[in-house]
Amino acid sequence: MSADRLDRQPVNLTVAIREQLARRRREQLDRLFRRDDDHVVDQGDDHDVDDQPPDAA
């Protein structure tokens, strides 16, 4: 039984490593897109403020 566990361990480690790498990639992409979204929102806010008539400010 212990030999069977040892045979399965490398596969489980490989799967765990792949899952961890995939998780890191998703987190990096989330951060990247969040940064892009914030940048777009900031541009939108600045644009909206510039479009307001001077009396509203």
Give the C-alpha separation, 20 to 42, whole Å: 33
In order, the DSSP letters of the chain are: -HHHHHHHHHHHHHHHHHHHHHHHHHHHHHHHHHHHHHHHHHHHHHHHHHHS-GGG-
Domain positions in the chain are 2-56
Q: What is the mean pLDDT of the chain?
A: 72
Task: Give residue 54's pLDDT.
Answer: 61
CA distances from 44 to 8, 40, 52 (A): 53, 6, 13
Task: Give residue 10's pLDDT.
Answer: 66
List, for residues 32-53, the tens digit of each pLDDT value. Answer: 888 765 555 555 555 555 566 6
Give the C-alpha separation, 30 to 27, whole Å: 5
